[in-house]
Chains A and B, each alone.
Chain A
Amino acid sequence: EPEVTQTPSHQVTQMGQEVILRCVPISNHLYFYWYRQILGQKVEFLVSFYNNEISEKSEIFDDQFSVERPDGSNFTLKIRSTKLEDSAMYFCAGQIRGNEQFFGPGTRLTVL
């Protein structure tokens, strides 16, 4: 059964550094999402992506964040200059229109 994959599983970075989190969604999915979960808190929506553009973004998704799907398979989340408060678990999800979202296993980002 196809599944969503994410790399790396754990990323440690210094404050102010750029990080790129990668996701490979299931091939027939059309809508893509990034969510984050700060330790001990609930899962929060960051951004949705459809037809090669952002369809919605949350207040969290400020100018430090960007997403792209450069080659039709990978879906990336870039944080330009990481802050301590960016430390969280980041989940990618994919969806066929109107159906449930399939989540990847997540990337744990630790900003020192």
Chain B
Amino acid sequence: AQSVTQPDIHITVSEGASLELRCNYSYGATPYLFWYVQSPGQGLQLLLKYFSGDTLVQGIKGFEAEFKRSQSSFNLRKPSVHWSDAAEYFCAVVGDSSYKLIFGSGTRLLVRP
């Protein structure tokens, strides 16, 4: 069965510092991968997605992610974090004939001023 692991429950970075959020997935074939962001009390907003092709994908708000098949990873990065990036970040995979999303447990990002 497909699964997603986000090993970091919380991450704290200083404003202006770089960010990397880790995501590992379990699936035999090439998965469809997503990163969503959730601000407190809000819904889920899509940051970026990977379906095929270039393994480095660009998203909104200056985020990017790199698909590495050899490591079963899809880590999210941002070169310079802004205070408004503080939120919960979810990695998700669509892996089988069903289009349902399987989410990781999320990483809460805190931004120090």
Interface residue B111 (Cβ < 8 Å from any Cβ of A): no
Which residues of the other chain, A, contact B98 by a CB distance below 8 angstroms? Answer: 48, 55-56
Number of contacts between A and B (CB, 8 Å)?
47
B61–chain A nearest beta-carbon distance, Å: 16
Contact B99 A95 (CB under 8 A): yes
List residues 30-57 of chain A with CB under 8 A from any CB of chain B: 31, 33, 35, 41-45, 48, 55-56
A103–chain B nearest beta-carbon distance, Å: 4
A33 to B106, CA, bound (A): 20
Interface residue B101 (Cβ < 8 Å from any Cβ of A): yes
Which residues of the other chain, A, contact B104 by a CB distance below 8 angstroms? Answer: 42
| Cβ-closest chain A residue relative to B92 | A43
Question: What is the size, in residues, of chain A's interface with B at 8 Å between Cβ atoms?
Answer: 23
A15–chain B nearest beta-carbon distance, Å: 24
Contact A100 B46 (CB under 8 A): yes
Which residues of the other chain, B, contact A95 by a CB distance below 8 angstroms? Answer: 99
List residues 78-112 of chain A with CB under 8 A from any CB of chain B: 91, 93, 95, 97-98, 100-106
Contact with A along B100-113 (1 / 0, CB 8 A): 11111110000000
Which residues of the other chain, B, contact A33 by a CB distance below 8 angstroms? Answer: 100-101
Which residues of the other chain, B, contact A31 by a CB distance below 8 angstroms? Answer: 99
Contact sample, A vs B, 24 pairs, CB 8 Å cutoff: A31-B99, A41-B105, A42-B90, A42-B104, A42-B105, A42-B106, A43-B90, A43-B92, A44-B103, A48-B98, A48-B100, A56-B100, A93-B101, A98-B51, A100-B34, A100-B46, A100-B49, A103-B36, A103-B44, A103-B45, A104-B43, A105-B42, A106-B42, A106-B43
